[in-house]
């Protein structure tokens, strides 16, 4: 049943070594820049993925709850756009929770292709899915979903439907988002459907609270990137010497996360030494918030048209059915 997973991992063994090297190279480049930054993709090792799951359960982080409730309400309408004998491809599938809402409403889906960088997460999610959906063919793929991909041969010839929930699209800058959507278009082919969840711009207090939860889970998530550098790249970051900062940038329509150095300090990592001034920021994440028209324009630039879209009650979150 899981031969697809084994094959995908073997093919990607070289990619793992490449990932380790690019983490080190990205840390060196990001911490050497005049304005220090790191890609948010580096939050998600096993500890970071657990912290993200915990964020989704905080009372302030409305995104997951709101999107799930919206998907429950509109699943049948989404399913009406899904063709027969479809292969559903999920980008960054994690625990494969939300996909169930679509699968339950769309029996015409015959194959599920979860793509995730974490082999452990993929393995356990695939085992659960096999038990819950015994008639569904599973073709899991261990990969960084942001990179150029080839789909497993099992789905060649099927109609392709992509699923990209959670407003992860908002963690790309607009240029990266267009590049990603173009790549997905190439991967899924002309005529494909892509179902995307996107968080909407809203009042600042709601946004601020979502990224500054009272229990400090988001703070731990933010600092996990430093812990990860310590674990994997021999770093000596003192996490207490950095402060979590999450703020709304209205010009760019995005929440930003930073780590602010509390003191002048030197930090060693990946064989290099980096100087931080007191008050200096390390920019760790952008989380863009959309309007329906801004998202429609973004998708259009990447060759997708909005077939249907749905917006939740406040706090607003949207799901778009895009057609290539």
Question: Rule CB under 6 A: is residue 93 a binding residue for ligand AVI?
Answer: no
E strands in the chain: 36-37, 86-91, 109-116, 137-138, 141-142, 159-164, 193-199, 242-249, 254-261, 265-269, 272-276, 281-288, 305-311, 317-323
End-to-end CA distance of the chain: 31
Q: Is residue 287 within the footprint of ligand AVI (CB under 6 A)?
A: yes
Comparison of 121 and 155: residue with beta carbon closer to ligand AVI: 121
3 state SS of 199? strand
Residue among 5, 8, 27, 63 that touches ligand AVI (CB under 6 A): 63
Which residues inside 180-219 make contact with ligand AVI, applying CB under 6 A?
211, 218
CB-nearer residue toward ligand AVI: 45 or 138? 45
In the list 96, 146, 158, 167, the residue contacting ligand AVI (rule: CB under 6 A) is 167
Q: Residue 285, interface with ligand AVI (CB under 6 A)?
A: yes
CB nearer to ligand AVI: give 138 or 225: 225
**Residue 191 CB, nearest approach to ligand AVI (Å):** 28
Binding mask 28-57 vs ligand AVI (x if CB under 6 A, - otherwise)?
---------------------------x--
Asked if 158 touches ligand AVI (CB under 6 A), the answer is no
- Closest among 114, 199, 178 to 152, alpha carbons compared: 114
Closest separation in Å from C-beta 263 to ligand AVI: 25
Using rule CB under 6 A, residue 317 touches ligand AVI: no
Residue 290 in contact with ligand AVI, rule: CB under 6 A: no
Of 63 and 161, CB closest to ligand AVI? 63
Distance CA 248, CA 81 (A): 35
Least distance from ligand AVI to the Cβ atom of residue 7, Å: 28
Determine the length of the chain. 324
Query: Of the candidates 166, 194, 200, 261, which one interacts with ligand AVI according to CB under 6 A?
Result: 166
Beta bridge partners of 197: 319
224 near ligand AVI, judged by CB under 6 A: no
Distance between CA atoms of residues 170 and 198, nearest Å: 7
In whole angstroms, the minimum distance from the beta carbon of 146 to ligand AVI comes to 13
Q: Which is nearer to ligand AVI, 40 or 140 (CB)?
A: 40
For 218-251, the DSSP string reads: HHHHHHHHHHHHHHHH-----GGGEEEEEEEETT
Burial code (b: 16+ CB inside 10 Å, e: under 16) for 222-258 equals bbbbbbbbbebbebebeeebbebbbebeeeebbbbbb
Among residues 163, 34, 70, 171, the alpha carbon closest in space to that of 111 is found at: 163
Do 302 and 185 meet the contact criterion of CB atoms below 8 Å apart? yes
CB of 133 to ligand AVI, least distance (A): 25
Binding site for ligand AVI (CB under 6 A): 55, 63, 166-168, 170-171, 211, 218, 285, 287
């Amino acid at each position: 049943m899981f031969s697809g997973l084994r094959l995908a991992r073997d093919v990607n063994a070289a990619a793992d070594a490449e990932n380790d090297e690019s983490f080190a190279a990205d840390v060196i480049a990001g911490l050497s820049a005049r304005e220090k930054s790191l890609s948010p993709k580096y939050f998600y090792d096993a500890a970071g993925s657990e912290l993200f799951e915990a964020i989704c359960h905080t009372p302030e982080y409305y995104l997951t709850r709101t999107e799930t409730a919206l998907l429950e309400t509109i699943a049948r309408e989404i399913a009406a756009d899904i063709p027969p004998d479809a292969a559903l491809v999920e980008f960054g599938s994690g625990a494969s929770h939300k996909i169930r809402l679509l699968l339950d409403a769309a029996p015409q889906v015959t194959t599920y292709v979860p793509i995730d960088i974490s082999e452990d997460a993929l393995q356990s999610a695939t085992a659960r899915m096999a038990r819950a959906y015994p008639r569904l063919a599973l073709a899991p793929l261990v990969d960084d979903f942001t990179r150029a991909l080839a789909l497993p041969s099992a789905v060649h010839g099927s109609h392709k439907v992509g699923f990209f929930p959670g407003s992860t699209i908002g963690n790309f800058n607009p240029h990266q988002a267009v590049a990603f959507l173009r790549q997905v278009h190439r991967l899924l082919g002309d005529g494909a459907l892509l179902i995307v969840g996107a968080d909407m711009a809203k009042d600042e207090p709601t946004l601020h609270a979502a990224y500054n939860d009272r229990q400090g889970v988001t703070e731990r998530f933010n600092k996990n990137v430093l812990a990860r550098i310590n674990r994997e790249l021999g770093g000596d970051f003192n996490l207490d010497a950095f402060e979590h900062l999450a703020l709304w940038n209205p010009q760019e329509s995005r929440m930003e996360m930073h780590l602010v150095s509390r003191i002048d300090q030197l930090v060693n990592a990946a064989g290099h030494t980096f100087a931080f001034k007191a008050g200096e920021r390390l920019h760790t994440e952008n989380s863009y918030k959309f309007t329906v028209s801004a998202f429609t324009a973004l998708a259009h630039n990447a060759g997708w048209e909005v077939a249907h879209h749905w917006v939740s009650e406040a706090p607003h979150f949207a799901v778009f059915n895009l057609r290539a």
